[in-house]
């Protein structure tokens, strides 16, 4: 049995589900893209190819091996994008919550059934169908759970809006001892630079009480200020619109001291090292073209 334990984003990682780029399928048709950034690359003829993405994910797997992290991979489904394991489920404390994601992606969950079945049945949660949530919007942070959501009246038409108020309320009931803090995210179906697909596309807490943040990802300015005050201005690394677009906030912590980051994030990686972090750099720029990066392709199960 797997004894799940996730209290935050930065405690020492012991066990993780890492997506796979194998049998990723052909370049999607424009009308089948779920986010504006993928659509942009389909139009430009620069959509990433499977072989490159497999190499990128392998580089990440090697870092996990180096730090002795147990890694689960999904079973391969032919012609299916299974890179972003964070979207399909997430862990808070000792419970795994299955995400209600876009119906087309239901098969991705079946591919990790062998992991799901190793978890105590009482700790496997499937939310009611009306609750929409993806793991990229959910961040356990000790006594808090930070959740990105979108509650505009046009929610049903915004394909980039992945987490709704019903899901937030369900999580409040599941974790009554936690403070659930929500943030309205800026959404755009058409402009990737004005779209925070998930909370982790514009914000992420890291070790030593620090955080990475992009102001424009937040629809309500005072919610952004709340986060800056929570971490303290001197502990926050503000990223630009272009850095957000390139997914600078979507890095991944192995521990309080060790962070996996994309090798092209020069400004961020320099700052992280100045703060005393060990930065493990990997190439991930091809995967980033699908509006997801390191946090999106990992789903932690156990941290110390």
pLDDT in tens, the chain (304 residues): 999 999 999 999 999 999 999 998 888 888 877 777 888 888 888 888 899 999 999 999 999 999 999 999 999 999 888 999 998 899 999 999 998 766 767 888 889 999 999 999 999 999 998 999 999 999 999 999 999 998 888 877 777 778 999 999 999 999 999 999 999 999 887 777 877 889 999 999 999 999 999 999 999 999 999 999 999 999 999 999 999 999 999 999 999 999 999 999 999 999 999 999 999 999 999 998 887 899 999 999 999 9
Nearest CA to 136 out of 34, 265, 277 is that of 34
Q: Which residues contact 259 (CB under 8 A, 6 or more apart)?
A: 206, 207, 251, 252, 253, 272, 277, 278, 279, 280
User: Tell me, what's the pLDDT at 102?
Assistant: 67
pLDDT for the residue numbered 87: 87
Helix (H, G, I), strand (E, B) or coil at 142: coil
What pLDDT is stored for residue 39 in this prediction?
82
> What pLDDT shows up at residue 37?
82
Are the CB atoms for 223 and 184 separated by under 8 Å?
yes
* pTM recorded for the entire structure: 0.94
> Strand 13-18 and strand 70-72: pairing?
parallel
pLDDT of residue 253: 98
Residues 6+ apart with CB under 8 A from 161: 150, 152, 155, 185, 187
Cβ contacts of 210 within 8 Å, gap of 6 or more = 231, 235, 236, 237, 275
CA gyration radius, the chain: 18
User: What integer pLDDT is reported at residue 32 of this predicted model?
Assistant: 78
38 vs 60: CA distance, rounded Å: 22
């Amino acid at each position: 049995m797997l004894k799940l334990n996730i209290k935050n984003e930065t405690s020492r990682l012991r066990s993780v589900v890492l997506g796979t780029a194998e049998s990723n399928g052909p370049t999607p048709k424009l009308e089948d893209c779920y986010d504006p950034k993928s659509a942009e690359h389909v139009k430009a003829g620069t959509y990433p190819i499977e072989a490159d993405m497999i190499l990128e994910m392998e580089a990440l797997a090697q870092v996990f091996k180096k730090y002795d992290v147990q890694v689960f991979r999904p079973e391969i489904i032919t012609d299916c994008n299974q890179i972003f394991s964070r979207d399909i489920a997430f862990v808070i404390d000792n419970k795994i919550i299955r995400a209600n994601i876009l119906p087309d992606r239901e098969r991705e969950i079946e591919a990790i059934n062998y992991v799901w079945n190793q978890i105590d049945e009482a700790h496997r949660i499937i939310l009611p169908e009306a609750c929409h949530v993806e793991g990229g919007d959910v961040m356990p942070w000790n006594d808090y759970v930070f959740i990105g959501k979108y509650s505009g009246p046009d929610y049903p038409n915004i394909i980039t809006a992945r987490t709704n108020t019903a899901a937030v309320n369900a999580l409040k009931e599941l974790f009554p001892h936690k403070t659930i803090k929500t943030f309205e995210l800026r959404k755009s179906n058409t402009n990737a630079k004005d779209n925070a697909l998930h909370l982790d596309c514009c914000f992420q807490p890291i070790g030593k009480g620090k955080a990475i943040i992009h102001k424009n990802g937040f629809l309500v300015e005072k919610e952004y200020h709340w986060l800056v005050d929570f971490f303290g201005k001197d502990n926050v690394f503000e990223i630009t619109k272009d850095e957000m677009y390139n997914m600078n906030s979507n890095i991944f912590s192995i521990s309080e001291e060790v962070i996996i980051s994309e090798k092209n994030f020069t400004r961020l990686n320099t700052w992280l090292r100045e703060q005393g972090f060990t930065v493990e750099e990997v190439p991930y720029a091809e995967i980033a073209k699908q509006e997801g990066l390191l946090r999106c392709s990992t789903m932690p199960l156990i941290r110390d």
